Amino acid sequence: MQKVLVVFGTRPETIKMAPVILELRRRPDVRTIVCVTGQHRDMLDDALKVFGIVPDHDLNIMRPGQTLAGMTSAILSQLTPVIEEVRPSRVLVHGDTTTTYAASVASFYLGTPVGHVEAGLRTGNMMAPWPEEFNRRSVDMFADLLWAPTERSARTLLDEGSPSANVLVTGNTVVDAILLVTDKIRRDDALRARLWEGLPRLDPAKKLVLVTGHRRESFGGGLAEMCEALNQLAAREEIEIVWPVHPNPNVVATVRERLSRRSNIHLTAPMEYLAFAALMLKANFIISDSGGIQEEAPTLNIPVLVTRNETERPEAVSAGTAKLVGTSAGRILGAAYELLDDPAVYKKMAESPNPFGDGRAAVRIVDSLIARDRAA
């Protein structure tokens, strides 16, 4: 029997690994063990609950205002004995967080093969996003199963020298996840009503602009500019803005201090995934630097203004759903006004094709994993 140890630690990894774990658990020949690092705490627990995943191991490493070195060393030292105890045939990691990096290194030191979900994303700039570009490049140097969400990410891996037998285009598992939860929301009237109860009271006649922001390279200046843009945008009466604020102390401090106390700006705690998905379904457009949201927006046909200078997901920009608007208030505001005032621009962005897959990424990943490790 194949034994797979799945390691993750943050909200987006949970959302994007959940479809893979659910699919692994459907396969009789695989034993799946879940280890969370607890790099995130409340946000991780919320996401686990949505998918009914109960971890077998929890390293519980989160500390308020934690450092990259502190997290990396805690994960390396605490995950190593778990891998030694479980003795998996393979470790699975996702994306580009500190958990991804440290879990891969711990596995590498023990000679355990690593499979990387969402491999091959690159901006080409080691400092943006920081430290994620370094993390994902590091894992892709030695993981021997590289699941690329798109043809473009697969090509990047091949150009870097990864053997073609190790690379498979699967689509992004976030599409599997968002389709799963939005389908649930659409079918279940009682669930929808319960989710709406917990959300800020919104005027249905107004246009909802949903906002998130958390990138380390935007701390200080970039986030302050976003706030300035939103303060000006909120002067328009037909708008309502909702921002579920990421709990990173650097984000909370800037956002709470700089956003004006207007009745059409709602700051909330991070939302659990079902509630956030329900809100996305109502959004007119999204302003965000989130990786996952850039991938979900085209699935839901919602334009997204990406408050970054570079993206490792250029597919959404090429397809038309996402626009890179940087972090200056003027550019953010200009793009927002264009979406509000020019129906042709809005329609073109909203109706662009989804480049991130068909919702069957997890099946492809698990099929290839089983085939590879059975042969080994």
57 binds ligand UDP (CB under 6 A): no
Edge-to-edge strand ranges of the sheet holding 167-169:
57-58, 30-36, 2-8, 90-94, 114-117, 145-148, 167-169
Cα(3)–Cα(228) distance, rounded to whole angstroms?
51
Is residue 170 within 8 A of residue 148, CB to CB? The reply is yes
* Residue that is written with structure tokens 């994960």 in the block: 75
Cα(16)–Cα(295) distance, rounded to whole angstroms?
11
212 binds ligand UDP (CB under 6 A): yes
For ligand UDP, give the closer residue by CB, 14 or 89. Answer: 14
Specify whether 151 is catalytic: no
Edge-to-edge strand ranges of the sheet holding 265-268:
265-268, 239-244, 207-212, 285-288, 304-306, 322-324
- β-bridge mates for residue 6, sequence order: 34, 92
Cα(325)–Cα(230) distance, rounded to whole angstroms?
14
Residue selected from 25, 137, 206, 214 as contacting ligand UD1 according to rule CB under 6 A:
214
CB of 66 to ligand UD1, least distance (A): 4
Stretch that binds ligand UDP, among 150-158, 266-274, 309-317, 336-344 (CB under 6 A): 266-274
Query: Pattern of binders to ligand UDP over 292-331, x per CB under 6 A?
Result: xx--x-----------------------------------
Enumerate residues 6+ apart whose C-beta is below 8 A from 241: 208, 209, 210, 211, 230, 233, 234, 264, 265, 266
For ligand UDP, give the closer residue by CB, 30 or 102. Answer: 102
290 binds ligand UDP (CB under 6 A): yes
* Residue that is written with structure tokens 């029997």 in the block: 1
12 binds ligand UDP (CB under 6 A): yes
Cα(128)–Cα(107) distance, rounded to whole angstroms?
26
Nearest to 10 by CA among 134, 95, 69, 79: 95
Selected catalytic residue, list 57, 246, 313, 364: 246
CB of 45 to ligand UD1, least distance (A): 8
| Element spanning 34, H or E | strand 30-36
355 binds ligand UDP (CB under 6 A): no
Binding residue count for ligand UD1, defined by CB under 6 A: 24
Cα(326)–Cα(310) distance, rounded to whole angstroms?
8
Is residue 362 within 8 A of residue 23, CB to CB? The reply is yes
Stretch that binds ligand UD1, among 105-113, 247-255, 277-285, 364-372 (CB under 6 A): 247-255
Specify whether 308 is catalytic: no
> Taking CB under 6 A as the criterion, which residues in 19-78 touch ligand UD1?
39-44, 62-66, 68
Selected catalytic residue, list 13, 23, 46, 132: 132
CB of 31 to ligand UD1, least distance (A): 28
Residue selected from 2, 7, 8, 11 as contacting ligand UD1 according to rule CB under 6 A:
11
Selected catalytic residue, list 137, 192, 216, 331: 216
Specify whether 295 is catalytic: no
Q: How many CB atoms lie within 10 A of CB 39?
A: 25
Binding residue count for ligand UDP, defined by CB under 6 A: 16
Q: Which residues are designated catalytic?
A: 96, 118, 132, 214, 216, 246
Residues that bind ligand UDP (CB under 6 A): 11-12, 15, 174, 212, 214, 244, 270-271, 273, 276, 290-293, 296
Positions that interact with ligand UD1 (CB under 6 A)? 10-12, 39-44, 62-66, 68, 96-98, 131-132, 214, 247-249
